[in-house]
Chain A
Amino acid sequence: MAMAMAIDDAPELDFSAYSTSPTTTTTTTTDDEYGCNWNDWSPVVDWNALSGGQDDFQDLIESMIDESGLQPARSGVNYQEGSNSPSTDTTMFTDEEASRDDSKGLRLVHLLMAAAEALTGVNKCHELARVILVRLKELVSPTDGTNMERLAAHFTEALQGLLEGAGGGHGKHLISSGPQRDDHHHHHQTDVLAAFQLMQDLSPYVKFGHFTANQAILEAVTQHRRVHIVDYDIMEGIQWASLMQALVSRKDGPPSPHLRITALSRGGNGRRSIGTIQETGRRLTAFAASIGQPFSFHQCRLDSDETFRPSSLKLVRGEALIFNCMLHLPHFCYRAPESVASFLSGAKTLNPRLVTLVEEELGPIGDQGFVSRFIDSLHHYSALYDSLEAGFPMQCRARALVERVFLGPRIVGSLARIYRTCGDKEGGSWREWLGATGFRPVDISFANHCQAKLLLGLFNDGYRVEELASNRLVLGWKSRRLLSASIWTSPFDSDSSIS
């Protein structure tokens, strides 16, 4: 359960902020180009002087995290009450007009933090939260303004839902909805498709997960005649098109193995917004036929509570069994942790050749409550917004579509889950869970790592890939880690085949 909270929220990518470090400036762009400059604004006092120079948004947020953890201020500046504080600047009220635009993002962050605190903190005051949200709504719109303004609009909406749910009974909002309300539900199918297309073409989030997993699968099945992939959440199936292409084009290798894909299907709670599993199967089948890849497609239905039962899977002797678990990609729906756990536990009993896992990276979350998790979430999504803006600098409309269809609903759902569970003990990630359950890490190959780097090379300079463990690659934007891909194998030292 603890783990539930760690993952269940959706944000998959996150990120980061605006770091203005000059070293990342390269031929094409500089960091400062997007969004506003967080640094050079001082509404009341000269904060840089006061706090020893927070030179970017991330530092600022981190310092706020420090603060909410009640740690002493990090500043070395001392001042005495009522006496001179050399660093303060009393001209604030007048100068501020000029820097208003630049400062707006920072003001929004402060307001959001304060609203989150008023909603849950020791000094909880719903009236204060209400007033702050009223102010925020005056300042932002989800479809207008800078990155931070649009992002803040979604966070504002999320908090408003929490406030109404918490305040009094009209829980028409997120809080009362079950494990999730469907993220994509309310959008027109064509919007969803277009947004998905944009997302995957203009940011590496989707491809990073797919490519890293696929490369690991390719390397693991070179000697196998039959490969069986059990896919936890197949969505539109795009991952497998590229795998097939790679299989048939292997040089000097054996003939392409027979590929069987079993897609887990859910009861009719309506989350197949990118086409049904049947459609996905038909497309994959047709595509396989068009390139000469031997292929078969199956479905395996989850229980009504989305529990996976290994016995419901049809297995064939001698096939290499792969469990593929993509979580938290930007366009994915929320999956309850119990369901994910049943899938991974089930995998353990079936002794798979490989388990490929992609999940979001969360910030360091200690035992703090809602506020620090809220801030982490804000940090996460601001990174995501920044990276998308870097990818779509001029395309307000395109970006707006992605934000409206995928990110906005995700933020709302994610905060509702954090709010509901903020009393729980925080768990770790699924990769920690896998390790603790006995799965063994499988090294990421050099080629796989290079491939990830090359993939990112196609996008903005701000993306980074790190190898944080021998079996794990992490995709980040600037200094914020977003998405983690890790590769595992069965705890048992068996040789891949099922007897």
Chain B
Amino acid sequence: MTIEEAEPNPHVLGWIEDSVSFFPSFLDDPYDSTEINCYDWWDPNQDFAHDLINTSATSITSTITTADSSTHTDTTPDTAPTATNPTTTTNHSEESVTQESSKKRKASLDNQDHAQRRNRSLSTIENSGSIDVKPAKPVPGVKRPANKKRSAVSSGNNGNGGNKEGRWAEQLLNPCAAAIAANNLTRVQHLLYVLHELASPTGDPNHRLASHGLRALTYHLSSSTSLPSSAPFTFSTAELRFFQKSILRFNECSPWFAFPSNIVNSSILQVLSEEPDKSRNLHILDIGVSHGAQWPTLLDGLSRRPGGPPLLVRLTVISPTGDGGDSDTPFSMAPPGHDVSPLLLGFAKTLNINLQINRLDNLPLQGLNPQSIDASPDETLIVSAQFRLHHLSHSDRTEFLKSLRALSPKGVILTENNGDCACSGCVDFATGFSRRIEYLWRFLDSTSAAFKGRESEERRMMEGEAARALTSAAEMNEGRERWCERMREAGFAGEGLGEDTVDGGRALLRKHDGNWEMKVEEDSGCHCCVSLGWKGQPVSFCSLWKLSGGGK
């Protein structure tokens, strides 16, 4: 570029003249409009800039008069596509994931047929036409190939390990709850905005946690007594068939409930084996959340035990009661009309077991007594309480356990969440919320591993149901030690879990993700408890109790 070129050429001059209108006369002294124009005097690339500048200069003048409409037409079309696009793409990928997962699911079900005999027998409930019973109790000695286990471990560590760093949703949810507690509205607003952007009911466990957490926080902030209309998919809103299928499917792929059920069934057989009179009637009191799914395995076990099944097997099911009852407890409610009795009865018949089922729909837990459950002195009564007792207020608990003792059961198997209480009587809102979130995280994370990250309706329903723990007033958990203490206060003594029981639980866990772990707890010198954990964090525990002090 030379100095000569820098002189305005006719082209440039033309531009300068054009732009004069844009530079009205300025201060006479020391500047004037010619001087301002001299800013452009040397630009050797005038040609290049010419178009741009020309357009802008002219249209600015015209825009000034019509600025209103022009700006709007300018910006609106720009934003619209960007805002809608992400939604469309998300839907797309969801669809394809669902399609793919249903294919794979089919395949994996086929594989599991061989591996999971126990579950196969459960699935006969679905197609009760063909009964195909296999040995119910896992064989303790069978070791799975090592590579299987390794792959399970690695699939569980996909990105969101047990370390807090990967758990980003909690980094938004917990501060938000804290800000709500501190009445810091600006901060609350900020965090809700961010959560709203990142939450997704179908993403990885963090996105899901954000989605459920956001809903819960919003619910908390609003004064309404019902959840927003877009409430997640839960048990009570599910279609009946789908519900039953989903429960079975979940128990196949996750030990969350399958593990405790397995321990309960083994423990019942253990208690029975210790009774002198093998033909005595068996009466099981079911205060649980398995919705019947655990009993076929037990029936199968009963039919196979030495000496055959008891003459009569009575199953008394205590359904959650509505208002003021424990229907608020996650996983306790079933869709209206859910009744597995016919299936169980049919199944029992094929095993030549004389089964009697009695469902008590309106009996509050506090109303339990020998009459209400029609107990008889010449039967072996065994109580299975699973994930239901934590809805009782802390102060009612020991009393209730005492009322259980008054039934003089031969055994009580207590299964509960192993965690700290989140109720408003125990801790402030923020602490309670973070504990609920912690619980839900374990559920979502382990369930993601169970479904191998694939999206499905079953998964959505299970997760939606688990998420009720965020808003349920009935989440009054206690740690394992506290429960055990209460059992002893009520007059029970821990009973060591049998070797078969423990081995059975261990074998079951081997079929699942490697991040699951169990631990036999030793307190007071007996092994009455087994804890289930996910990535090193406690999830639940199962414990076996008998009456203390000569209750045998």
Residues of B within 8 A of A145 (CB): 78-79, 82
With A85-B222, A275-B1 known as contacts, the answer to whether A107 contacts B186 (CB < 8 A) is: no
Question: How does the 8 Å CB contact mask read for A25-48 relative to B, with 1 for contact and 0 for none?
Answer: 000111001111000000111010
Least distance between A433 CB and chain B CB atoms (Å)? 30
Least distance between A94 CB and chain B CB atoms (Å)? 7
Residues of A within 8 A of B80 (CB): 101
Residues of A within 8 A of B79 (CB): 36, 101, 104, 145-146, 149
Task: Evaluate contact between B192 and A45: CB separation under 8 angstroms.
Answer: yes
Task: Evaluate contact between B31 and A28: CB separation under 8 angstroms.
Answer: no
Residues of A within 8 A of B39 (CB): 200-201, 207, 238, 241-242
Task: Evaluate contact between A198 and B53: CB separation under 8 angstroms.
Answer: yes
Residues of B within 8 A of A341 (CB): none
Question: Which of the residues B27, B57, B166, B230 comes within 8 Å of A451, measured between beta carbons?
Answer: B27
User: Using a CB-CB cutoff of 8 Å, which residues 262-307 of chain A contact chain B?
Assistant: 275, 279, 282-283, 285-287, 290
Number of residue pairs across A and B with beta carbons under 8 Å? 257
A111 to B34, CA, bound (A): 48
Residues of A within 8 A of B43 (CB): 193, 197
Residues of B within 8 A of A51 (CB): 185-186, 189
A131 to B80, CA, bound (A): 24
Least distance between B395 CB and chain A CB atoms (Å)? 21
Question: How does the 8 Å CB contact mask read for B225-260 relative to A, with 1 for contact and 0 for none?
Answer: 000111000000000000000000000000000000
Task: Let me know if A3 is at the binding interface, CB within 8 A.
Answer: no
Task: Let me know if B63 is at the binding interface, CB within 8 A.
Answer: yes
Least distance between B231 CB and chain A CB atoms (Å)? 11
Least distance between A207 CB and chain B CB atoms (Å)? 8
A455 to B31, CA, bound (A): 11
Least distance between A83 CB and chain B CB atoms (Å)? 7
Chain A residues bordering chain B, tally (CB within 8 A): 107
Task: Evaluate contact between B186 and A66: CB separation under 8 angstroms.
Answer: yes
Task: Let me know if B74 is at the binding interface, CB within 8 A.
Answer: yes
Task: Evaluate contact between A67 and B187: CB separation under 8 angstroms.
Answer: yes
Task: Let me know if B197 is at the binding interface, CB within 8 A.
Answer: yes
CB closest chain-B residue, reference A218: B30
Task: Let me know if A493 is at the binding interface, CB within 8 A.
Answer: no
User: Using a CB-CB cutoff of 8 Å, which residues 378-430 of chain B contact chain A?
Assistant: 424, 429
Residues of B within 8 A of A44 (CB): 192-193, 196, 218
User: Using a CB-CB cutoff of 8 Å, which residues 60-112 of chain A contact chain B?
Assistant: 63-64, 66-67, 72-75, 77-79, 81-86, 88-90, 92-94, 100-101, 104, 106-107, 110-111
Task: Let me know if A365 is at the binding interface, CB within 8 A.
Answer: no
Residues of A within 8 A of B70 (CB): 393-394
Task: Let me know if A487 is at the binding interface, CB within 8 A.
Answer: no
Task: Let me know if B180 is at the binding interface, CB within 8 A.
Answer: yes
Task: Let me know if A194 is at the binding interface, CB within 8 A.
Answer: yes
A86 to B222, CA, bound (A): 8
Besides A193-B43, A286-B7, 11 new A-B residue pairs in contact (Cβ under 8 A), listed by A number = A67-B187, A101-B76, A101-B80, A107-B196, A114-B172, A125-B168, A145-B78, A393-B74, A394-B56, A394-B60, A451-B31
List residues of B whose CB falls within 8 A of some A CB.
Answer: 1-3, 6-7, 19, 22-24, 26-27, 29-32, 34-36, 38-43, 45, 48-49, 52-53, 55-57, 59-60, 63-65, 67-68, 70-72, 74-76, 78-80, 82-83, 86, 164-168, 171-172, 175, 180-181, 183-187, 189-194, 196-198, 206, 218, 220-224, 228-230, 424, 429
18 A–B contact pairs at CB < 8 A? A67-B184, A77-B185, A78-B183, A127-B167, A132-B194, A139-B86, A145-B82, A149-B79, A193-B49, A202-B56, A215-B30, A249-B29, A249-B35, A393-B67, A394-B63, A394-B74, A395-B60, A450-B27
